[in-house]
Chain A
Amino acid sequence: MLVIKNLKVEIDGKIILKGISLEIKAGEIHAIMGPNGSGKSTLAAVLAGREFARVTEGTVTYMGKNLLEMAPEDRAKEGIFLGFQYPIEIPGVSMVNFMKTAVNEHRKHKGLEPVSASDFLKMMREKKELVEIDSKLANRSVNEGYSGGEKKKNEIFQMAMLEPRLAILDETDSGLDIDALKIVARGVNKLKRPDNSAIIITHYQRLLDFIIPDVVHVLFDGRIVRTAGKELAHELEAKGYDWIKRDMDKNDQS
């Protein structure tokens, strides 16, 4: 589904990603872990199409297409969804209007008619239940005045509405208490299908207790330094990132 080859990215002249390669197949959940500043969010930003992150080398192929040539909105319509680490507040734009516009853009892309008002409301209701989101939130402006937990739940709600093929969740667990974390995880698990995939970017292992990854990558200083099964997350939790660092130093010396 997604093939990244030797991806190098810089922001404001600073090299952040120093040659990333990975492949995600349909149905897989990949976790990307790593300490702060290792380039995790930059990777998410590049995949979603943020302009400030400049690709200097490498390729990203998504469903056989060159992802890097696509506008952010086209990536979304082709099934890529980014769950933001810091969801943006948009005063004056209601959640209902926002989601209706987004859903209809997706439908138009698929050659479908705009969703009817009653079907849309029904859809909103179902998906709200899925993430246990307060029904009043939907009538408010996008993320405005939401608590940290509400904002993250709202990301999963949007994901549920748009049914992406590839979800990239950027530190969706940060700032969440255990109950909110469980709700978010349950939402993600319920949306899981054999033909869709997810990239879970996280600093901690605890989200991975609830969303079981197929593959865990450790990103360090702009490079993937380890790739293994879900047990790697536990090892990291037990030994900390210093362990990776020491290990790398040792390799350098030998």
Chain B
Amino acid sequence: MNNLPERSEQYYNLYKENIGRIEESSSAFINSFRGPAIEKFIELGIPTRKNETYKYTNLDTFFNHEFHTIFMPSESDFRKAEDFRCDVTDLDAHGIVLLNGFYPTITDKLRKLPGGIWIGSLNEASKKFSDKIEKHFGKYANANGDGLVHLNTAMASDGVFIYVPEGVVLKKPIQIVNLVQSDVDIFNQHRNLIVVEKHAEVTLIICDHTLSPRKFLTNAVTEIFVGENSHFDIIRVQNEHNNAGKITHTFIHQEKNSNASSNNITLHGGLVRNSTHHFLGGEGAESYSYGLFLADKFQHVDNFVNVDHAFPHCTSNQLFKGVLDDMATGAFNGRIYVHKDAQGTLAYQKNNNILLTDDAKMDTKPQLEIYADDVKCSHGATVGQLDENALFYLQSRGINKREARLMLMFGFAHEVIQNIKVDPLRERMDNLVMQRLKGELSRCASCMVKCG
């Protein structure tokens, strides 16, 4: 370990100090991944800007910080967390609250929903449903060179497990609310596994919140298996304070003729990095990847997307947008990889960004690697100001400039939001975005943190 950079060493020490405790609550199967993962982490380290996929994102201010890592909140903390209510009041969902990455100790650790669906703690599931865990855990996330994914595999203590059996259609969405609350600065990691068997249909909403004004860093990994002919939507809403770092890695593995979408809406956060990986692992699979962020002050939001066309006749679509104000910075890196045999591939990518000031900065990079010949691919990226022609068009109908600008920005953002199929959530997102664009604070009502 002599050559390990100091900051990676800090996390290695954390691992050594705590691995005993972590392994105690986990199953032997999940624990078997930890040793090799920490080795991989030591080899790869915490990504720096020399790493091509982190070229535009500097993790230093968060990873160089010394965090107190608490491995399990107390029961009273969980009780407080339970009081948190999502203020999308019309949203009728099966809810789960994670506190600092932990599944609560005070509720049923696994719940059965209609149709034989199970939702609950990953640790608990690894004991009760070891066959399902062994079939899927670690299968979709590990094949990549990101040290942070390995750090998560090595040390994540718990997370959410969702199992949707064959042929089951769940009308109500499942909502995971990730809360971070602590009186000290903390680093937390959690790991989710979602298994959707054949011919099933489910929507998952993940909301990220911070409830106390400390410095936080989250490194979360979600693995998703979408079976043949299944339909899966994941919507992530991020509304954290300026002193929070959020790194998410989402891996969606799709089987034949499945349809999956992901939508990352970043309303607020200090440093946000979302990497979304779509693996089209069967003919006729369709994937949609959406993202929207609104950033101001010194915020930084980075979306990394990787769409892997491994089979013929699959379709993928990426639409990512950003609105950057003040000194905010952002990055988009969209990769489309078409394997040699993936004939008949359709792959599209669009990234549009609006800079509201001269100091805001956006880096956008399409990355297409195509090894098949019968392929339709397109990509386009824009970074600019509001469209002057559109602005004049609105003004010429009597709408004043300020209002016209707002309408254009809202319309720009709405193009992403309109893909949310859960009506109350879509309406709420429209409202929050409008508030945010008007310069009002767009926090959920129960958010206790004032972001000045």
- A residues engaging B (CB < 8 A)? 48-50, 71-73, 75-77, 81-82, 84, 87-93, 97-98, 101-102, 105-106, 109, 141-142, 158, 162
- Extra pairs beyond A91-B412, A92-B415 (20, CB < 8 Å): A49-B396, A50-B392, A71-B395, A71-B401, A73-B399, A75-B396, A81-B396, A88-B390, A90-B390, A90-B408, A92-B414, A93-B407, A93-B410, A98-B394, A101-B403, A102-B394, A102-B398, A105-B400, A106-B398, A109-B398
Q: Name the residue of chain B whose CB is nearest to the CB of A48.
A: B396
Q: Which of A77, A88, A142 makes the CB contact (< 8 A) with B398?
A: A77
Decide if B135 is an interface residue (CB 8 Å cutoff): no
Cβ contacts under 8 Å, A98 to chain B: 394, 397, 407
Q: Is A90 in contact with B399, judged by CB distance below 8 angstroms? A: no
Cβ contacts under 8 Å, A82 to chain B: 396
Cβ contacts under 8 Å, B393 to chain A: 84, 87-88, 90, 142
Q: Name the residue of chain B whose CB is nearest to the CB of A103.
A: B398
Q: Is A91 in contact with B395, judged by CB distance below 8 angstroms? A: no
Q: Name the residue of chain B whose CB is nearest to the CB of A87.
A: B393
Cβ contacts under 8 Å, B407 to chain A: 90, 93, 97-98, 101
Q: How far is the CA of A250 from the CA of B399 in the complex (A)?
A: 48
Decide if B160 is an interface residue (CB 8 Å cutoff): no
Decide if B389 is an interface residue (CB 8 Å cutoff): yes
Cβ contacts under 8 Å, B392 to chain A: 48-50, 72, 88
Q: How far is the CA of A195 from the CA of B389 in the complex (A)?
A: 31
Q: Which of B389, B401, B404, B415 makes the CB contact (< 8 A) with A91?
A: B415
Q: How far is the CA of A63 from the CA of B385 in the complex (A)?
A: 35
B295-332: which have CB < 8 Å to A?
A: none
Decide if B411 is an interface residue (CB 8 Å cutoff): yes
Q: How far is the CA of A192 from the CA of B14 in the complex (A)?
A: 79
Q: Name the residue of chain A whose CB is nearest to the CB of B400.
A: A73
Decide if B435 is an interface residue (CB 8 Å cutoff): no
Of B390, B393, B410, which is in contact with the most chain A CB atoms at under 10 Å from its CB?
Answer: B393
Question: What's the least CB distance linking A135 to chain B, in Å?
Answer: 20
Q: What are the interface flags for B370-393 relative to A under an 8 Å C-beta threshold, 1 for contact and 0 otherwise?
A: 000000000000000001011011
Decide if B338 is an interface residue (CB 8 Å cutoff): no
Cβ contacts under 8 Å, A101 to chain B: 399, 403, 407
Q: Name the residue of chain A whose CB is nearest to the CB of B403.
A: A101
Decide if B418 is an interface residue (CB 8 Å cutoff): yes
Q: How far is the CA of A77 from the CA of B404 in the complex (A)?
A: 14
Q: Name the residue of chain B whose CB is nearest to the CB of A141.
A: B411
Question: What's the least CB distance linking B45 to chain A, in Å?
Answer: 41
Question: What's the least CB distance linking B393 to chain A, in Å?
Answer: 4
Cβ contacts under 8 Å, A90 to chain B: 390, 393-394, 407-408, 411
| 17 residue pairs A–B, Cβ–Cβ below 8 Å | A49-B392, A72-B395, A73-B400, A75-B396, A77-B398, A90-B393, A90-B394, A90-B407, A92-B413, A92-B418, A93-B410, A93-B411, A102-B399, A105-B400, A106-B398, A162-B397, A162-B398
Q: How far is the CA of A84 from the CA of B394 in the complex (A)?
A: 12
Q: Name the residue of chain B whose CB is nearest to the CB of A92.
A: B411
Question: What's the least CB distance linking A165 to chain B, in Å?
Answer: 13
Q: Is A76 in contact with B408, judged by CB distance below 8 angstroms? A: no
Q: How far is the CA of A109 from the CA of B410 in the complex (A)?
A: 24
Cβ contacts under 8 Å, B394 to chain A: 90, 98, 102
Cβ contacts under 8 Å, A93 to chain B: 407-408, 410-411, 414
Q: How far is the CA of A78 from the CA of B396 in the complex (A)?
A: 11
Question: What's the least CB distance linking A103 to chain B, in Å?
Answer: 8
Question: What's the least CB distance linking A73 to chain B, in Å?
Answer: 5
Q: How far is the CA of A20 from the CA of B392 in the complex (A)?
A: 24
Q: Which of B397, B403, B412, B413 makes the CB contact (< 8 A) with A158?
A: B397
Q: Is A72 in contact with B396, judged by CB distance below 8 angstroms? A: yes
Q: Name the residue of chain A whose CB is nearest to the CB of B407.
A: A93
Q: Is B401 in contact with A73, judged by CB distance below 8 angstroms? A: yes
Question: What's the least CB distance linking A88 to chain B, in Å?
Answer: 4
Question: What's the least CB distance linking A206 to chain B, in Å?
Answer: 26
Cβ contacts under 8 Å, A84 to chain B: 393, 396
Q: Is B397 in contact with A76, judged by CB distance below 8 angstroms? A: yes
Q: How far is the CA of A49 from the CA of B408 in the complex (A)?
A: 19
Cβ contacts under 8 Å, B389 to chain A: 88
Cβ contacts under 8 Å, A142 to chain B: 393
Of B395, B404, B407, which is in contact with the most chain A CB atoms at under 10 Å from its CB?
Answer: B395
Question: What's the least CB distance linking A50 to chain B, in Å?
Answer: 6
Cβ contacts under 8 Å, B403 to chain A: 101, 105
Q: How far is the CA of A218 from the CA of B394 in the complex (A)?
A: 30
Q: How far is the CA of A105 from the CA of B400 in the complex (A)?
A: 8
Q: Name the residue of chain B whose CB is nearest to the CB of A158.
A: B397
Q: Name the residue of chain A whose CB is nearest to the CB of B416.
A: A92
Q: How far is the CA of A98 from the CA of B413 in the complex (A)?
A: 16
B404-430: which have CB < 8 Å to A?
A: 404, 407-408, 410-415, 418
Question: What's the least CB distance linking B317 to chain A, in Å?
Answer: 15
Q: Name the residue of chain B whose CB is nearest to the CB of A93.
A: B411
Q: How far is the CA of A142 from the CA of B396 in the complex (A)?
A: 14
Q: Is A92 in contact with B401, judged by CB distance below 8 angstroms? A: no
Q: Name the residue of chain B whose CB is nearest to the CB of A102.
A: B397
Question: What's the least CB distance linking A241 to chain B, in Å?
Answer: 29
Q: Is A73 in contact with B413, judged by CB distance below 8 angstroms? A: no
Question: What's the least CB distance linking B386 to chain A, in Å?
Answer: 11
Q: Name the residue of chain A whose CB is nearest to the CB of B404.
A: A73
Question: What's the least CB distance linking A192 to chain B, in Å?
Answer: 20
